[in-house]
Amino acid sequence: MGVLRIILISGMLIINTVYSSENLIKTGKQLARSCTWCHDTKRELLAPSFRDIALRYKELPEGEAKEILFNSIKDGSKGKWEKWEKKGVYMPPQKPYFSDEQIKQIVEWILSLD
């Protein structure tokens, strides 16, 4: 009986974790809608696509990629993308518009696009 209980609890935790992760990504996607003046999911507009951003950081350890993107969104970014720097385009700080938790959700969504 104890083993069955452990299996059931473990299964519930796994389902809850997957569900929470999916909700985090879904919320991040919804929040990123306000970024679509400059970014699109698949194509370049005034800035790199979200998919290009995800691919750029794909090879980094997950924690490092998250930290770089978090800081770039929160504090703004300039000079990380040569193509856009030549055009005078930079990422303005978004901290006035998003909380840290919301920025984390956007980062999760971007990194899910690989």
Q: Which own/partner pairs from 55-61 qualify as long-range (CB within 8 Å, at least 24 positions apart)? A: 55/114, 57/111, 58/114
pLDDT band of residue 30 (cuts 50, 70, 90) is very high
Expressed in angstroms, the distance from the first to the final Cα of the chain is 43
Residue 99: strand, helix, or coil: coil
pLDDT band of residue 7 (cuts 50, 70, 90) is low
Residue 36 tokens, joined: 């679509």
Q: What is the pLDDT of residue 8?
A: 44
Residue 36 has pLDDT above 60, yes or no: yes
Question: For residue 37, what is the domain's CATH number?
Answer: 1.10.760.10
Q: What is the pLDDT of residue 113?
A: 92
Mean pLDDT to the nearest integer, 34-41: 92
For residues 76 and 86, the model is more confident at 76
Mean pLDDT taken over the chain? 84
- Structural domain boundaries enclosing 102: 2-111
Q: Which residues of 22-46 are buried (b: 16+ CB within 10 A; e: fewer)?
A: eebbebbbebbeebeeebbeeeeee
> How many domains are contained in the chain?
1
Q: Tell me the pTM.
A: 0.79
Residue 55 has pLDDT above 70, yes or no: yes
For residues 20 and 99, the model is more confident at 99
- Structural contact between residues 73 and 103, judged by C-beta atoms closer than 8 angstroms: yes
